[in-house]
Structure 1
Amino acid sequence: MENKIQDALKEIQRGIAEIIDIEAIEKLIRRYYETGENFYVKAGFDPTAPDLHLGHTVLIQKLATFQNFGGIVQFLIGDFTATIGDPTGKSETRKVLSEQDVLDNAQSYKEQVFKILDETKTEVMFNSKWLKELGTAGLISLASNLTVARMIERDDFSKRYESNTPIAVSEFIYPLLQGYDSVAMKTDIELGGTDQKFNLLMGRTLQKAYNCGKQQAVLMMPILEGLDGIQKMSKSLGNYIGVTDEAFDMFGKILSISDELMWRYYELLSSKSLKEIEELKSGVEDKSIHPKEVKDALAIEIVNRYHGQGAGETAKAEFSNVFAKKDIPTELDEYIFEETTWICQALVDAKLVASTSQARRDIKANAVSVNQEKINDDKLNLEKGEYILQKGKKSFAKIVIK
């Protein structure tokens, strides 16, 4: 049993950014294995955007991990707090949503998250149930637990205060209400992003103030890098993989990531165990497994998760057919460059030619293509991005410029 407990803790700590009170989490898991008693893991979602991308699902994947080891997920829809708007990470107050918008977005969230979470081990909750009943006296009592000085310590508040950017009094109420959610829900563990640390710790503070007999542990997840491997995954940056993307598009986007970023996605998104991932890494390192094969497996797993079993294999077959028609191999050697690279040097480093002078001659002979387009500029510099280089009819390489 001890091995099971330690394995569970390793999976729970996998990929995390920070954890507070791991001892409490270990006690909860140990109790589950010894007595079968469940514990409660909370994550709050203000339903301000109905469509998730894979960056959003990092936290949901961790919730699913807890479900494997005795956790009952408290999936909190912040229908009440969404009408206030948490400015975390923002320089201005969020737009207040209508009640119908909140309900519509909440329904969309529920439909998408159950592709990851076990519905039988999930309680979907709405904080309007207890926050509407709090009343004026209750709110004043709640607000007495924190000073203005302590509130200004929150990073986004302090920056806005120093720059004379307005802060609504209602925004001070938000972290208090999020913390009170943990009191009302009797939460054992709360999950959130690193930008939510202040609010997550508020739950611990208020559970102690309200004599709940517990102080929730806190686990923070990192931000997932987008397809470029540099900036966080974001729809506004266009470097995202949407949960509702078509299977073919989802598969292709995952295949486009670098081999280095692939392991980050495995760590934060895959359901494979740490042991299984280490075996794949070892196979790639000793060249018994091609990186393309490992990336295919990741793409298939994720597509199957959101489109149903078998969808990933179908997408792979369709993708291979498209590439076959373009005469591009599905398995390409990949070369990573840290900065802008001269095309002739890239051809040499990718082992497509023996020298830069040979590269020049091949370019002038119209024998070199970049992303299937012939080039004749031997002074071309490749900027940040991904490229498929081709020399002649049969020599290919994938280039990643960071």
Structure 2
Amino acid sequence: MSDLDESVAQVLGTFRGFDDVRAVVPLVARRATLDLGDLGPAEQARLVAARVSAADPSEDALAQRLAAGRTLTVKFVVEPFATTFHLGNLVPLLVLNRLSRMGHRIVFVVGDLSAAFGDPSGSVPLSATPSAAELERNISAYREHTARFLTGTPTEFVRNSDWLSRATLPELMALAAHVPAAMVPGLGDGTLSRALYPVTKAMDAVHTRADIEVGGVYQAGNLAVCRRIMAGEGLDPVIALTTPLIPGVDGAPVMSATRGNEVSLLATPAAAFDRLAAVPADLAEVYLRALTEWQDPEIDRARAVLTPGELVLLTATAVTATLHGHESALRALDSRSPRPRTGAAQ
């Protein structure tokens, strides 16, 4: 039995109701640093695929890549358009952390050149693209705010200007020739330069020798183009893992600082807990899956033994534990819902 399986069994053997929350939250929170190398490739693929929107081409292909018997390179493009970050930015980091704890190499590609094409999510207009100085400030803030969520193998940061600035027109034309215009996302309503963005993703993948790429679900079309170009160049296309956008705390479809429905990564434990404790009950499972190490059988147990209000409090505690550790999260819970600490893990 793997260490993860043992941990899940311990939680399921303990968790019978809300009074057990203080005992099980630390057990789950400690998984953020759990070595996942003792899982087989199929189990690793299931663990990753359970927390992404899609694995392209398939979960089986991901398992085959993980079974390669070598350290894989996992690529993630960072193009920060702000200096503040929230729980939505955390979703792909937790997927990256799982792959890191499986022993794989995580490479953050800083899009200091590709950011000029604009925000791929479409939430920032092209006219608001940051200057070089602003981008440097944003990147520094991103690294500072997110480093604590990557607990496995050391991560690397590289800049795609190192290779994209040297790209020649014949090279771009040769790569673009692999892609029919109908595949290019946003070609009909974007700029012509925007059509080159997925080509830069393929160039990033080639230069980093990526085996897997993680990106937001809004990157699905760009990643499909990237895979097409890599195949056309005779390379093994990356396995593309797209992560979901999470709803805001007000129930709106997307969490966004501009909408004011976010939870900042820098929120204090009390502030984060209070924001999360007020979310609609139907968001509890969504947040548990996307933002914690709770596994599906444990979430099913929580849904079965807790009232909707208790499930929200559990979610607030578990997500606060992701941000600040279980001790701070339990203190925040005690301030809101004081109960006997019978069986609580310290």
* TM superposition score category, shorter chain reference: 0.7 to 0.9
Partner of 2:285: 263
CA contact 1:40–1:74 (8 Å) conserved in 2 = yes
SS across alignment from 1:114: helix
Partner of 2:182: 150
Distance 1:204 1:277, change over 3 A: same
SS across alignment from 2:258: coil
Give the aligned length: 302
SS across alignment from 1:70: coil
Partner of 2:49: 13
TM-score normalised by the chain length of structure 1: 0.68
| Partner Cα distance (1:280, 1:91) in 2 | 38
| Partner Cα distance (2:311, 2:91) in 1 | 20
Deviation of the 1:143 alpha carbon? 3.6
Partner of 2:323: 306
**In structure 1, what residue type is equivalent to 2:77?**
G
Task: Describe how 1:155-234 pairs up with structure 2 within 5 A.
Answer: 156-158=186-188, 160=189, 167-212=190-235, 214-234=236-256
| Partner Cα distance (1:275, 1:65) in 2 | 18
**In structure 1, what residue type is equivalent to 2:60?**
E
Deviation of the 1:225 alpha carbon? 1.0
Partner of 1:240: 262
SS across alignment from 2:148: coil
Return 5+ residue gaps in structure 1 as ranges. Answer: 161-166, 285-289, 322-328, 330-402
Return 5+ residue gaps in structure 2 as ranges. Answer: 3-37, 340-346
**In structure 1, what residue type is equivalent to 2:47?**
E
Distance 1:280 1:319, change over 3 A: closer
Task: Describe how 1:263-342 pairs up with structure 2 within 5 A.
Answer: 263-284=285-306, 290-308=307-325, 310-320=327-337
Matched, 1:114 2:151: no
State which drifts further: 245-254 or 304-313.
Answer: 304-313
Distance 1:113 1:239, change over 3 A: same
SS across alignment from 1:19: strand
Distance 1:312 1:217, change over 3 A: same
Structure with more strand by fraction: 1
CA contact 1:40–1:188 (8 Å) conserved in 2 = yes
**In structure 2, what residue type is equivalent to 1:134?**
A
**In structure 1, what residue type is equivalent to 2:187?**
F
CA contact 1:29–1:70 (8 Å) conserved in 2 = no
Deviation of the 1:246 alpha carbon? 2.4
Partner of 1:42: 75
| Partner Cα distance (1:97, 1:230) in 2 | 27
Distance 1:95 1:143, change over 3 A: farther
Matched, 1:26 2:59: no
Deviation of the 1:262 alpha carbon? 0.6
Deviation of the 1:291 alpha carbon? 4.7
| Partner Cα distance (2:255, 2:118) in 1 | 22
Aligned match of 2:107 in 74, 82, 96? 74
Deviation of the 1:309 alpha carbon? 5.2
Distance 1:278 1:7, change over 3 A: farther
| Partner Cα distance (1:238, 1:187) in 2 | 36
Distance 1:6 1:278, change over 3 A: farther
**In structure 2, what residue type is equivalent to 1:97?**
P
- Tell me how large the CA RMSD over aligned residues is: 2.7
| Partner Cα distance (1:55, 1:26) in 2 | 26
Distance 1:65 1:87, change over 3 A: closer
Residue by residue, what CA displacement relative to the aligned partner does 1:308-362 show, whole Å, maximum 9, x if unpaired?
55222232344458xxxxxxx9xxxxxxxxxxxxxxxxxxxxxxxxxxxxxxxxx
CA contact 2:103–2:152 (8 Å) conserved in 1 = no
Residue by residue, what CA displacement relative to the aligned partner does 1:231-265 show, whole Å, maximum 9, x if unpaired?
21112222211111222111001111123211111
| Partner Cα distance (1:126, 1:5) in 2 | 31
Residue by residue, what CA displacement relative to the aligned partner does 1:14-58 show, whole Å, maximum 9, x if unpaired?
143222122321012233xxx4x2212222121212211112211
**In structure 2, what residue type is equivalent to 1:241?**
V
Deviation of the 1:89 alpha carbon? 3.3
SS across alignment from 1:150: helix
**In structure 1, what residue type is equivalent to 2:80?**
P
Deviation of the 1:103 alpha carbon? 1.1
| Partner Cα distance (1:230, 1:90) in 2 | 15
Percent identity over the alignment is 24
**Relative contact order (alpha carbons < 8 A, sep ≥ 6): 1 or 2 greater?**
2
Deviation of the 1:94 alpha carbon? 4.4
Distance 1:121 1:274, change over 3 A: farther
Structure with more helix by fraction: 2
| Partner Cα distance (1:112, 1:175) in 2 | 27
SS across alignment from 2:67: helix
